[in-house]
Each structure stands twice: as C-alpha cells, then as structure tokens.
A and B are shown apart, each in its own frame.
Chain A
Amino acid sequence: MLIELKNIIKDYDNGGVITQVLRGINLSVDEGEFVAIMGPSGSGKSTLMHTIGFLDRPTSGSYYFDGEDTNNFTDDDLAHIRNKRIGFVFQSFNLLPRTTVLDNVMLPLSYSNSKKNHEARAKLALEAVGLGDRLDFMSNQISGGQKQRVAIARALVCDPKVIFADEPTGNLDSKSGRAVMNILDKLNKEGKTIILVTHDINVALHAKRIVTISDGEIISDKQISSTDRVHSKSEID
C-alpha cells in the first residue's frame, strides 16, 4: 500500500469560525494506480490533495505513506518527501519566469541531496515529455501545453513514486489538454502512481478509479473498466 488515509479530518479556523473541510476520509491507493478525485468546487478535493501531497497537515487522523506513519514527520522530512518521492503538476504550471526550460526542470534537483548529473537527468525528463528540443527556450516563450509538459518533466525529474496533478488541463485548450493527459497515461503505464484532481469527467476518465468527494466526505469510489471508459467517452463526445 503506497498511500493509506485513516479518518482524516481537516478543520480551518476562519477568525474563530471553524469549518470542517475534510470529515473523516478513509482512502487507500496502491502503487501503480491512476486515481481521479472528483467533486464540485468547495467539496474539499483540493484540500484532500494538499494533505496527501504533504503540503498541508491533517487536523487529526493518520496518514501512512509507503508504510510509514507521517504524523510525527518534521517539516524538513515532509520537504524531503515532496522533493524525492512525489511530484506536483499544477493548473497554472508555476514555472519560474525569465528562466530556461532546462533550468526549470533542474530546480527540484537543486533541493535534493544528489549532486551529480543534474543536467542529464533534466534532459531525460524533458525527452520523456517530448520537449527534448526546447531546452534553452525561456519558460515564457513556449505555449501553454508545452508549459504543462515542462511542469510534468519537473515533477518527474527526481523519479518520484507518485505524481499529483491538480486540474492539469484546466488552463489548456482541448488539444493540448489531450496531449498532457496522454503523457500521464504513458507514465502510469510505466508504473508511476498518478493522483489527479479534476472536475472534468473527460479528464477523470483517463484514470482507472474515480473517487468522488462532496462536502468533505467520499461519496463514491469506483474502479473503471476499459469498457466503461469507451462507453462514457462516446456518450460525452
């Protein structure tokens, strides 16, 4: 089991008014899975992803990552997990401006303990997303779809076990969006665990399992067979 959440609760304190965003989430994800988390805005899906992605700590409940209880991890421990064992892809790419594609992809390596082959590893990651010929472009000189592929390369460069993608196609046209999703599909086939947050069923159908969340609770958790996928896709198309 790669990820195991047990009764995760997250409260936000808004000036004395306590809002419960996650109300007892139980969720397990195996290595190699491709999970889509769906839900309307305000349902808590982003908070859930931030919690699984170690950007936020739950108010209570336990979180086992790769067999380890993460409750007692220090901030530095969490930073190391974010660096080495997970990768993030955001809706708005979050590339560094005035910086080359290659330097953007090398950035996570500069926070890792490894000192060697930064450039070679970054090139390899960029080739994996089909941007081996854009190394020296400035991050603001490429298209949105390419930006998101750079962001995926950046998430891949430290060879993490799991990739979190938060609305990765939200800022893209449908064609670039499809290209990005194809890359995620390919990565999943190669063994990466992928956890995707989206409100778009077309995007979610790339996953093999859809977890739906509403009002801070999981209301459904379904495996998707390949026939389902074809069926639903044609239904929507």
Chain B
Amino acid sequence: MKDYLDDDRLEKALNSAFGPPLEPDFDGWRQRHPEAIAALKAHADLPAGVPVLRRLPSAVGGWLVNHRRVSIASACAVGTLLILAAWIHHSDPPGKLQWGVTQPDKEVAMNSQTSRPESLPRAEHPQRESTATKRKSSVGHERPGATEAVVPPPLDPAPPQAALSSNAPSKSDHVVGAASTARRIPLSVRLVYLSSVVRAKMVDITPKHVEFSLTKVLYGTDPGEIFRVPCVPDVDGARQALRTALRFDGTTGPYNPSDAEVWEHVLTMNRFAKGREVILLLQDRRETAINPEYQWWGTWEDSLRSPIDRYQKKILDVFESGLHLTPPDNPDDLAIYIQLSEKIVRARLVKIADDSIQWELVGKVHYPWPRRSVGPRQPAEAGDGPPVESLDFSLEPWRIRAEAIVRRGLTLQPGQSPPEDAVRRQLSLLVGQELKPGKEAVLFLRHQRKDGLHKTRHPMLGIVYADPVNPRSLDQLESSVVEIIEKRRHEGVR
C-alpha cells in the first residue's frame, strides 16, 4: 500500500502536475510590448551624466550624515524643500504653452487624460479590460433599437496594434513597432479599419456623450438617424488651461475654476457646438465590445482639420482609388506597409470567381515579423519563407470601391442603402478593368485578427501591380522590401 507520504510517488506527481515546460517567446513578447523596447532604447540615449546628477542630492546627504554632519545635512534638506516650495508656488503649471498657443493648430485629442473631477463623469473605455478579462468574457452583444457609438481615443498616427496582431495587450494599442510612432499612417490604410464613415450634426453635448443626427452615410454601416457617442473629454487639460489663461490676465495666486467654467472651456477647446457638422470615422465593435454600450469605435478629429466638404472629397477619393490599392510611392510609406503586413508575396492572378480572386504565388514569401512557432524555430530571414501555392482573396476591396462610387452619385436618405444592382454593375466594371488573369502583383497581406472583428475583411493591405512601362518595377519593389526588412532586423525593430 502506498500513500502520499511516499516521497517518490509525491515527487513523480509533482513533476507531472503542472503541464509541459514553458517556452519563452521573446520575439512574441517584443512584438506585444514595443513601448517597453522603445523605453529601453530611449534610456540608452540619455546623456551619461543624467543618472549621476539624479543621485547627487541623496549621495551628498548620505555623505554628510555618515560623517556626523547631521545639522548641516538637515539645514541643506530644509533649504532644498523651501526652494522647491517657492518654485512650485511661482511656476506656471506644465503644459500651458501646449494648450494656450498650439491648441488651435493641434489635432484635437478629446480623450487622452486619465483623471477628472467627480462631478464630471467618466466614460468607460472598451479597451481598458485586461487581457485576462477579455479571455474570460463573452462577446457578441447587440442592442436593439437606437444605435450607440463610442468615441475612444482618436485613431492616432499609428493604427491600433490590436487590429494588427491577434493578442496584443491594450497598452500597446497606439504603438506600432518602436520606430514609426511619429509618422502618420496614410488615410487609405487607416480607412481599412473602419466600418463606416458618416456625416452628422451634433445635437446635444453632455460630459458623458455627444448626440448626433445623421446627415449622410459616405460608406459602410448605417448607425441610425440619431445616435450617441460617449466620449472622454480632457477635463484636466481644460482646467489647467483655464488656470494658465487667468495667470496671463494678471490674476495671481491659486485659482480653481468651477466645473461649469471648465466644461464651457472643454466645449471650446474641442470645438463642440450644437449644430456643428462633422465627419465621423466609425468602427463596428459589436462583436468584440464586452460592454454592449460600446458598439462603435471612431473619431471625428480629422474632419476638424479642414473644411468638411474638402475632407469628404478626400475620403471619397481614397475610396474610389481603392482602399487597398494604393501603391507605396516612397520608402517611408513602404516601410509602414511592411510594418503593418504579416507577409509580402509576389503573385500572379489566375482566375476570378463569383466573389473571390485566386492568385498563384511567384517566388518567395517575405516575412517582416518573426513567425511564432511551436517546436524548433523556423528561419525568419527575408525571402526564405516556404512557397505557398495559391491564395484566395475576397473581392471586398473592389466592392467597397464600387459602393463608394455609387453612393457618391446618389442622394440617399439616412438609412437608405445604395441599389445592389448598381453596386454589382460598378463592381464588374472595376474588376473587368483591373483584374486580368496573368497579371502580376506584389501583395501586402496583413495580420488577421482572430477575434472576429475583421472577419468580413480580406487580409489584404495593399497591392502593387506590375508597371507595363517598366516591367522590372516589381523586381525593384521586391528588392526594396527585402532591404527594409533586413534593415529593421538589423536595428532590432521587429
């Protein structure tokens, strides 16, 4: 008879109790935490003397105490505190120039702050759930009746990392890699992530939400005639700006503006005004939002930067020229396409079926990111990918274009869709013009999310066709791709 006091048996049980051994995946981690890697590099760029200077006061204090100069040390500490207090009292709060001078030309970020007075409520942010909570929660809520929209942080220069990789945590949502955060993503790429683009008027504004009346759907899903957009305005920024502005007027001493004054200033700063018409870029979050209130994701910040009609034309031009068909025309744009792609392939069009296009791969597959693998690591050098025989893609990008072209020529009421037969006619026209069997192209294939957000989207980010005038254009493009991937790898930015 054996029991658990038998050491051998317990040892065996313990050895097998916790499953297979762990395999550290640093490349995957690095991909999910680009901001940490960026911070590491940023620290390395600091001048060598800075850490020493930081430690100097405590080192001097320690030396004085150790050498029984306690009274001198105390006097120094008190003096330092007094100087610090005087400096805090007389200095302007940080950020005044940002708000006071540059604000009119800045992109209006409505929702970037993290704290607010209790009297001004805070809207929940759908991306703040932890990865663990997300894993455990069910999705798929759909509210009947009026559609609600959410305005989370604006689609910033970098599109959400979450939209690019399957399990990126929320912290890195606004960073794509460490190298390109300062560069603006082309509108055509940003529009890939949207479900709809609408024109709407603000009819009611509260600290919790903005209510809109729909004027026109430019593309995509109709959010309903009246819809609400919960928002998180920058109340602290407004309060700070008010304090600073009063200082400029000659007022001295601390001043605490009332909540009403702060809110008034929030409206001014964000150009909220009843009757103001804006273009909203929305993303349908019904499939991923845990809170059913957050069905939409979007921003209107871009439409504030130029007159609305000009901005509308710009968006429609992008739709018409093809969301995914914009060839990268300079190395920086090409680098962004590469960064956003999962793989880049050269392919030849084989045939067009009812709703899909079949491509045959020509040459090698280029992987900008190291691939995750179980077991022995696969090589991730540029151009060494295993050949894939064929790829099937939906006609969705061409359908989007066709729909945008048809919508442009019609005056549709809110809620009204463009006639399906007109869209189909336009689609076949576009397909006939552009998709001829035998045509060669370089395809940028993007990450495909596993949570279903983009399940109706094809995984194609961009296509560059062979230039009939310069048959070597694709070869040149491919060699540029390889060069950029190698450079990224050399720099350690993956």
Q: Do A and B make up one complex?
A: no
Question: Which residues of B come within 8 Å of A, CB atoms?
Answer: none
Question: Which residues of A come within 8 Å of B, CB atoms?
Answer: none
